[in-house]
Amino acid sequence: MLNRLLELADTIAIGGHVRPDGDCIGSGLGLRQYIKDNYKDKEVEVYLEEIPEKYRFLEGTETVRHEIPEGKIYDLFICLDCADLERLGFSAPLFENAKNTLCIDHHVSNPGFAKENHIVPDASSTSELVYELINRECVSKEVAEALYTGILHDTGVFQYSCTAPSTLRAAAELLEAGVDAPKIIRDTFYEKTYAQHQVLGRALLESILFLDGRCIASYIREREMRFFGVDRSDLDGIASQLRNTKGVEVAIFMDEIRPNVYKVSLRSGDIVDVSVIARYFGGGGHKKAAGFTLTGTPYDVINNLSKQIELQLEK
């Protein structure tokens, strides 16, 4: 299906969600490199917001575009790891104007908003989906590194329950293409800057338990981020670390994006489906990892959320 659509297009744009994560970046750069390697006459560009430093070793990060050219109409726009048009951000006009559109994604909340859709909610990652769609004999080391990085991040280093036998088979085949897995795991997943670790420590120290210790919440204000010299991209992993607390089913981590406006990250164990809660508040995501934006104090957010969490815990 993917190869057929690629053959029909001379010009291809690839986009993904705002604040791109490892899966979004890995699937985008991997697919772009695959097209460059195997369809040498095609024009292909990736449109994503700023790429965090730790992913810049991937082939082609320096040519990722952060603005759209005026009046450009692509034959095909491929939307990756993005559940709705709004989350596509600045590249949405390119999607809307493209002659054909394809969406490859694993978010349950994705309604299939492109002309062609490949949505598999149970899949570990968009990067695994891309790997399944491309021609395996034509995967270069650069493509493998990008897709491996994407799978790694959306599975929490093959830890989360979305890791299927097919995920590990894909990862094994990507290793065979020459990926230096220990280096990528260390450099992109576990290694943190000193400031990032300090912020994590602060979030853990200030966290509160509620609903009989089954929920944990913490937050960080804009002024605290300034104090530590960090920005929002430095907060990755805090919500998951909170969720690792013994007895906790749901973790809530909030970071202030504007005065009294919080980006809320939710993580859950085996019971609560946080995608349902995030959707209730206008966001989205997966069963065990979801998010949304809410106005109010952190305590307003916690109050609003605990009602929704209790509804599911009582079932």
Instruction: Point out which residues bind ligand 5GP (CB under 6 A).
Output: 17, 83, 87, 109, 239, 265, 283-286, 289-293
The encoded tokens of residue 242 equal 């909170």
Q: What is the DSSP letter of 65?
A: B
Nearest to 129 by CA among 31, 4, 275: 31
Amino acid sitting at position 158: F
291 binds, among Mn ion, ligand 5GP, none (CB under 5 to 8 A by kind): ligand 5GP
> Could you give the CA distance from residue 265 to residue 290 in angstroms, rounded to a whole number?
6
Residues 125-144 that bind Mn ion (CB under 5 A): 126
> Could you give the CA distance from residue 297 to residue 254 in angstroms, rounded to a whole number?
10
Q: Does 154 bind Mn ion (CB under 5 A)?
A: yes
Q: Which is nearer to ligand 5GP, 261 or 311 (CB)?
A: 261
Could you tell me the CA-to-CA distances from 205 to 6, 88, 140, 199, 303 in Å, in that order?
Answer: 50, 35, 45, 10, 20
> Could you give the CA distance from residue 169 to residue 138 in angstroms, rounded to a whole number?
17
Q: Which is nearer to ligand 5GP, 9 or 119 (CB)?
A: 119
Could you tell me the CA-to-CA distances from 88 to 6, 65, 95 in Å, in that order?
Answer: 21, 14, 9
The encoded tokens of residue 71 equal 């009046």
Amino acid sitting at position 141: K
Q: How far is the CB of 248 from ligand 5GP (least distance, A)?
A: 16
Q: Which is nearer to ligand 5GP, 157 or 177 (CB)?
A: 157
Q: How far is the CB of 202 from ligand 5GP (least distance, A)?
A: 18
Stretch that binds Mn ion, among 41-49, 72-80, 150-158, 178-186 (CB under 5 A): 150-158
Q: Tokens 């599911």 sit at which residue?
A: 312
Q: How far is the CB of 47 from Mn ion (least distance, A)?
A: 17
Cα dihedral sign for 25, 290, 131, 68? negative
Q: How far is the CB of 286 from ligand 5GP (least distance, A)?
A: 6
Q: How far is the CB of 23 from ligand 5GP (least distance, A)?
A: 8
Q: Which is nearer to Mn ion, 81 or 142 (CB)?
A: 81
The residue sitting closest to Mn ion, measured at its beta carbon, is: 23
Residues 39-98 that bind Mn ion (CB under 5 A): 81
87 binds, among Mn ion, ligand 5GP, none (CB under 5 to 8 A by kind): ligand 5GP
- Footprint of Mn ion (CB under 5 A): 23, 81, 126, 154
